[in-house]
Amino acid sequence: MAPQNTIQHQIREILREAFQPSRLDVINESHQHAVPAGSETHFKVLIVAQAFEGRTRVERTRAVMSKLDALMKSGVHALSLRALSPEKEAKGQAEGFVSPPCAGGEKSTSQK
């Protein structure tokens, strides 16, 4: 688990409090991008919550992003998000969730 003072931990706690998810994966993917070591700028979030039942994909995304607005304005460059109801997770929609390449630049093999 991420230390409490990290952005990763803050994302997890904000979403846990707001949505009481049955599943919450918050992954720091910053190391895959052209940023300094130890950065917290790129995240992948998979959240499954009953609160998303009956809501469209846009509505689910807006609900999550409204809760993370302050963090997004304070240095988070990219957030790959999949927000699902338990029903949609049961239909397999959580599977195969891969973040798209960063438009800000990928790490080259010389930076790894």
Pull the structure tokens for residue 68: 């993370």
How much of the chain exceeds pLDDT 90, in percent? 51
pLDDT computed for residue 110 by the predictor: 40
| pTM of the predicted model over 0.85 | no
Q: Give the confidence band of 1 by pLDDT, cuts at 50, 70, 90.
A: low
Contacts of 38 (CB under 8 A, 6+ apart): none
Pull the structure tokens for residue 19: 């949505």
Q: Which residue has the tokens 């959580």?
A: 94
pLDDT, tens digit, 9 for 90 and up, residues 24-74: 999 888 766 666 666 677 789 999 999 999 999 999 999 999 999 998 888
Q: Give the confidence band of 103 by pLDDT, cuts at 50, 70, 90.
A: low
pLDDT computed for residue 34 by the predictor: 61
Mean pLDDT of 77-96: 91
Walk me through the domains of the chain, giving residue ranges and CATH numbers.
7-90 (3.30.300.90)
Cβ atoms 9, 44 nearer than 8 A: no
pLDDT computed for residue 87 by the predictor: 96
